[in-house]
Every structure is written in structure tokens, then in C-alpha cells.
Amino acid sequence: MDRSANPRYLAVVTLNKLEESEAFLKEIADSELQKGSLKRVDQGLYTELVYGTVRMRRNLDHVLSQFSSRPLAKIEPALLNILRIGVYQLFYLDKIPPSAAVNEAVKLARAFGHEGTAKFANGVLRQVLRGRDAVVYPSLEEEPVEHIGLKYSFPSWIVEQWIKWWGVEETLGLCRSMNEPPELHIRINTLKAAVEEVWTHLESKGITVRPGRYLPEILKVHPASLVVEDPWLQEGQYYIQDESSALAAHALQVGPGHTVYDLCSAPGGKATHAAQLMENQGQILAFDVSPQRLALVDQNARRLGASIIKTQVGDAAEDLGLPPAERVLVDAPCSGLGTMRHRPDIRWRKSGQEIKELVAIQKHILSRAAQYVAPGGLLLYTTCTLTKWENEEVAQWFLTEHPQFSGHQFPPGFPGQAAEPWMRTLFPHQHSVDGFFMSVFRKN
């Protein structure tokens, strides 16, 4: 077995490292792809196996627990990851023959273990193959939290909260949508190129292009590999950004000549978009607590030609001593649960307790941000998550604690579910974008 050129072997290595480290899946997977020597077709299989197995981990373990003679907690981690990859192929990859999925898993078990390990893997996976149509789940009617959590592979605490907030049917739709492959959206940088120009260029490279749902400068593109490798990305004609995130600069309602503070800016997608909507006229001051991450804002601003952006290291939770500005953006640190289609590991890394700690930080940053808004100016609060704790409840708290502000309307025709006229929540199953929340406040 040529291990560096074997997508399944590298997938097991990646999953092992994910469990052993604090790094996120994307960081580990990108590193393994760079180190390996996979052909392009095998890179696609590797990515599907890694992201799919992490996404469906709870479901895969539920299946395995019904066929393994050994408790999963007593199975060596590398072997358990091999079994998970095998079951993922049997249940979710129709193009791979079941016999190939089992045989390749047996080879992996031998490579990571010994002949006894290989025999165990073979026995379990062949039982799964014979009995895959008989897998049992708790009743949706009697145990909706466990049914949805096990079948669609989400932690029970997340499912329980979503059902409490939005009901069983909405939660089912949301969970199904979160497990679908993500679309790739790009934002055309109109400081450098016209939408039609980029569209024509990408199609000439064999890329499928479709319009965005809500914004004229957003395009949906496929395949991702060709889009990422195209030189126009590095030259700044376009920027990779989900349409949900791109809506934020429109919600901020910026115009040429405005002064804008972006208090949690890195990597700079929203700041560079604001500069684009401002026609590169005015001033954007971009802050981040991390000098390394702030360097990404500088790089992106230079690449996109957004010369009105100036960066400054600063902690948004501390007093930055800024004079009043017309527009202030708080893209707050959050649990990120709206991005699970792109970052499937995030569902296993967050907890209710961690979210409570984030809420305290979000409120603190918002209170600081309120000091920097000029009379008549707007403050925009955004997150890329789907919890009412971090979204609606924080927004309501802000207005209660800061009576000098009131909720402000969104631009006409703005998408999203509105709990109040000054709030918008975007759901993957309703709006076909990442989960995202926005709230606009105006200083009286």
C-alpha cells in the first residue's frame, strides 16, 4: 500500500489527528493534502471520506453499535475510525461498490494493526452490509431528540434546543440541510471587475456559474478546486464568501464617505465588501485582537484594492478610545453552528456552557461598541450561529441595556426570518445559505 497516495489511509490519519489535537478539521485536512501525493480524483474521495465521516460520526457509531460484538469505547481509536469510514461508504457513497468499501477497510485495519484487527473489521462490516436495512432508531414521535440526533448525527443538546425554539419539523429540515454538501459562493470585487466579466472568465475555464439568490455581486460556482486555483482569485477579481456573510455589508447600509469601525474584522471579508459598496471612498478601521489574523485583513485589502481599510491591533472587549463613527460592525465571536456544512467538526466541539461564556463576551463587546456610534449612526451585530442565546436574546438585551439605541429597519427586500423588523435570521433549509444572524441598531 502506497500510503501517501492512498486516500483512505490518509483519511484515517486525518481522523486520528483530529481526535488527538485541538486543531480544526480544515487545518488538518489541508495539511495532509499538501503532504500527500494524491491524484485529483483521489483528493475528492479523501475530502468526502474525511468530512463525511466527521459529519455523520454519531450516526455511524449508532450503526456500528448494533453490529459490533465489542463496545465501541473499547475499540482502538484508529480501528474505530476505519470502521466509521467503511460504514460511511456503505451508507452514503453509492458510487463505491460495497465489496470495495469492506475490502479496503480490511486492508487499512491490517496496516494500522494486525491480522486479528483485520478479521474483526471484516466481520463487523460484513454484518453491517447484510443488516444495513434493519438499523433501528428511536421513535420520532416518542423520542424526537434522540431520533433526530442519532439519524442525522447531531449532539442531543443542540437538537433539544432547536426543537424547543423552532419545533420538530423545522429542526428536521435544518438538520437535513446541514448535512448537505455546501455550495461555493464568490463575491465579485466590483472595484476591479464587472460581474459579467468574471462570469464569462470562469465559464471559459470549465466552471459552472449560477447567480446568487439575493445579491447581484454573488455567484454560485462549481467545482471548488478550479475556482480556488484560478489566478483571478489571487489577483482580487473575486473573493470566496458565503452569501449569508455577504449580506452583512448591505445590512450595515454604508455609503461613500462614511467612517466605519469593524471591531472583530479578521479575515476581512465584511470590511473589504463594505469598501466595495463605499466605492473605496471614506475610511474603514479594522480591528482584531490577533496580529496574525489582522495580517490577513491587510493581505485581503491589498489584493482586492480596498485602500480605505486601515488595520489596528485591538481587543474589542476593551476600550479602544475611538471617536464616534457613522457605522460600527460587531461580527461577534460565536459558536459558529450556522457553518456546519463547511465545518462539520464544529458540532462536536461546542457545548452549552461554552456558549454561555460566549454570550458574556458578546454583550461586553456590544456595550463597548455602543460608545463609538455617532448620533444617527448604525450598529450592526452579526453571528454565524443558530442559537437564540447568542442571537435574539443578546439583541433584545442590548436594547434593554442601551435605551439610547432603537432597532433599525433593514434595506427593502432583505431576506431572512424576522423575529423583529430589526432582526434577520438566515436558515440553510429556508434560504439555501449558511446559518446567519443580523441585528441593526440606530443611535437616537
**pLDDT tens by residue, 269-302:** 999 999 999 999 999 999 999 999 999 999 999 9
Active site residues: 384
Instruction: State residue 429's pLDDT score.
Output: 97
pLDDT band at 1 (very low <50, low <70, confident <90, very high): low
pTM over 0.85: yes
Compute the mean pLDDT over every residue in the chain, rounded to the nearest whole number: 96
* pLDDT single digits (tens) 223-239: 998 999 999 999 999 99
Query: pLDDT band at residue 118, thresholds of 50, 70 and 90?
Result: very high
CA atoms of 435 and 444, how far apart (whole Å): 30
Domain residue extents for the chain: 3-134, 144-178, 184-240, 243-443
- pLDDT score, position 14: 96
pLDDT tens digit sequence for 297-326: 999 999 999 999 999 999 999 999 999 999
CATH no., domain 243-443:
3.40.50.150
Question: How does pLDDT run across 35-58, given as a tens digit for each residue?
Answer: 878 888 899 999 999 999 999 999
CATH of domain 3-134: 1.10.940.10
Mean pLDDT of 157-169: 98
Q: Which architecture characterizes domain 184-240 according to CATH?
A: 2-Layer Sandwich (3.30)
Tell me, what's the pLDDT at 2? 67
